[in-house]
Amino acid sequence: MTAGSASLRPALELVEVVKEYAGNPPVRALDDVSLRVSRGELVAIVGPSGSGKSTMLNVMGTLDLPTSGSVLIDGREVSKFSDRRLSAVRSHSIGFVFQSFFLLDGVSALDNVANGLLYSGVREHVRRARAAAALETVGLQHRLGHVPSQLSGGERQRVAIARAIVNEPSIILADEPTGNLDTASSETVMSLLRELNTSGSTIVVITHDREVAASLPRQVAFRDGRIESDSALAEAR
């Protein structure tokens, strides 16, 4: 094996992933989904409501396990991992950005971001130092002491993005990060994600906005739990 093939190893890969939710009849939220995300990519996931986008992101982020198929993160097949090991994967390899931010109330922006390193066993002063750097990356170095209620929606989401990148994850997963934001804030957040991608981050972002999706390097469209189209495959063809 050469150094070259190691660097080509995908950041994340889904192989024939099926996710069924129990019920009568059972819901097949993901139906034989295979997807490979290489390092440095910025992928937009689009598709109608209920098509399985969030389900796929949760499976990618090991918040949920597939019914069948395999999930590889940094080359590790995680679909048979114990809860402890899945948590370890999340703490080191994955950064999440959610539609509703999920910042802790009454906790400063700095400490909210520092929490991104809480479960890596990093000492508090190191966490804070790195959190301050991450907040500078997202352009909020002047808001370190602000609590979420003192921040605008766009600023909150930027704090959440800082929290996602503070542990330098292999991949950032964002589920409709602009879903709760006005147009101007949405643009700030999207251009921030593009900047992060330019400086090396691998990002998968779900969006409802076709225009936003079209502006990103790669689009994967979902329908009824399946991949309807993938711009990367279309180009390859």
Partner 1 sequence: MNTGANEGASGSARLTPSRLRPSDVVRVGGSGLRSRKTRTALSALGIMIGIAAMVGVLGLSESSQADLRKQIEALGTNLLTVAPGTGFGGGDGVLPEEAAAKISRIGPVEVTADVVTLQEQPLRNDLVNQNETNGLTAVATDLDLLDTLNGSMSAGDWFNDATASTSNVILGSVAAERHGITDVSDGVQLLIGEKWFTVIGVLEPFPLAADLDRSVLIGKAAAESVFDVELNPSIVYVRTHPDFVDDVRAVLPATADPASPEEVDASRPSELLETQDAIEDSFTNLFLGLGAVSLLVGGVGIANVMVIAVIERRNEIGLRRALGATRAHIRRQFLTEALLLSTLGGVGGIGLGITVTWAYARAQGWDVVVPTLAVVGGMAAALLIGAVAGLYPAMRAARLAPTEALRAA
Binding residues for ligand ATP, per CB under 6 A?
21, 23, 27, 29, 47, 49-55
Q: Work out which of 3, 83, 235, 236 binds partner 1, going by CB under 8 A.
A: 83
- The nearer residue to Mg ion, 166 or 174, going by C-beta atoms, is 174
23 phi-psi bin (left φ>0, alpha ψ -120 to 50, beta other):
left
For residues 66 and 144, the answer to whether their CB atoms sit within 8 Å is no
Q: Work out which of 26, 104, 195, 198 binds partner 1, going by CB under 8 A.
A: 104
Within 10 A of 172 (CB to CB), how many other CB atoms are there?
Answer: 24
For residues 138 and 159, the answer to whether their CB atoms sit within 8 Å is yes
Q: What is the per-residue binding string for partner 1 in 158-197, x denoting contact by CB under 8 A?
A: -----x----------------------------------
For residues 163 and 112, the answer to whether their CB atoms sit within 8 Å is yes
Q: Work out which of 47, 52, 61, 66 binds partner 1, going by CB under 8 A.
A: 61
> How far is residue 65's CA from residue 190's CA, in Å, rounded to a whole number?
29
124 binds, among ligand ATP, partner 1, Mg ion, none (CB under 5 to 8 A by kind): partner 1
Query: Which 123-152 residues touch partner 1, going by CB under 8 A?
Result: 123-124
Contacts of 86 (CB under 8 A, 6+ apart): 62, 65, 78
Length of the chain (residues): 237
CB of residue 54 vs ligand ATP: minimum separation in angstroms? Answer: 3
CB of residue 158 vs Mg ion: minimum separation in angstroms? Answer: 21
Q: Which residues bind Mg ion (CB under 5 A)?
A: 54
Please confirm whether the linkage preceding 25 is cis (ω < 30° from 0). Answer: yes
Residue 91 touching partner 1 (CB under 8 A): yes
Q: Pull the structure tokens for residue 76.
A: 């590790």
The stretch near partner 1 (CB under 8 A) out of 78-86, 149-157, 199-207, 209-217 is 78-86
Degrees (nearest 5) of the Cα angle 109, 130, 60? Answer: 80
- The nearer residue to partner 1, 125 or 142, going by C-beta atoms, is 125
> How far is residue 55's CA from residue 48's CA, in Å, rounded to a whole number?
13
Residue 38 touching partner 1 (CB under 8 A): no
Query: By C-alpha distance, which of 237, 208, 234, 235 is closest to 222?
Result: 208
- The nearer residue to partner 1, 19 or 143, going by C-beta atoms, is 19
74 binds, among Mg ion, ligand ATP, partner 1, none (CB under 5 to 8 A by kind): partner 1
Q: Work out which of 18, 27, 72, 144 binds partner 1, going by CB under 8 A.
A: 72
